[in-house]
Amino acid sequence: MKSLKPFGPSIGLEKLSQAECDHLMATCDPSLPNANKVLVGLIKEEKSILSAIEGSDILEHIKDIALDYLNNVDSGFYSKLKPILKSHIDFAGAWYNNQKIYEHQPPHNHIGHSIVVVVFPHIDITAPIPYDRNDSNKAGLLTFYHSGNLNDGFGKSAITVEPKTGDVYVFPADLMHGTLPIYSEEDSRYSISFNLIFSEKARKDLSKIIKKQEVTD
């Protein structure tokens, strides 16, 4: 797994195969239950998808990617759970976003969960940001924001990435992130977000690990 570490938290980057992307796109059905009533995004087509892919190989692959992040990326606080991960982390929800013209995701986090996995099964964006003087800015970009001092001039407080079809980003649930709009009706940007959470047993074990560490420090 590739690791992006522009500031405190690490961000994992993986890749799905085209076959896996095609499978996920076939599951993105507008008739699925609406999810946007409990989400912050300014996107009309946000649909709950977890029940549609439960029991599938791809869901297990997503979980393995999350575990790989926890096991191999220096994610600080979460790395203390390495011995008890496999059977004590599970999905708490999943939904797809079909982002259309002028829609976007304002900065937000997934507080109350542990790890977020965001998959991009299909992206086709060609229209630039209108009236933008910075040629490096593109529509549909994904930005991660660190919660430290944003104006001290000594550290990087945000990183912006350009997701491609098949990209998978993994990060702590409390990390702020958001997306830029797209500006053409011909462009297409699908993402699927997975919230994963540690079980109550994992939380208790983590508490014991922390207390034991405090005693030895």
DSSP lists the bridge partners of residue 94 as 194
What mean pLDDT value characterizes the chain?
A: 82
Segment 94-123, tens digit of pLDDT: 999 999 999 988 889 998 888 999 999 999
What is the three-class DSSP state of 131?
Answer: coil
- Asked if 47 and 28 touch (Cβ cutoff 8 Å), the reply is yes
Segment 89-101, tens digit of pLDDT: 889 999 999 999 9
| Residue in 2, 123, 117, 142 with CA at minimum distance from that of residue 61 | 117
DSSP 173: T
Superfamily classification of domain 2-216: q2cbj1_9rhob like domain (2.60.120.620)
- Interhelix angle 57-72/18-27, nearest 10 degrees: 120
Domains of the chain by residue range: 2-216
- Asked if 92 and 197 touch (Cβ cutoff 8 Å), the reply is yes
What confidence category does residue 43 fall into, taking pLDDT thresholds of 50, 70 and 90? confident
Give the pLDDT confidence score for residue 110 in this predicted structure. 92
What confidence category does residue 75 fall into, taking pLDDT thresholds of 50, 70 and 90? very low
Ranked by mean pLDDT, the top range of 20-29, 79-88, 129-138, 195-204 is 20-29
Give the pLDDT confidence score for residue 153 in this predicted structure. 52
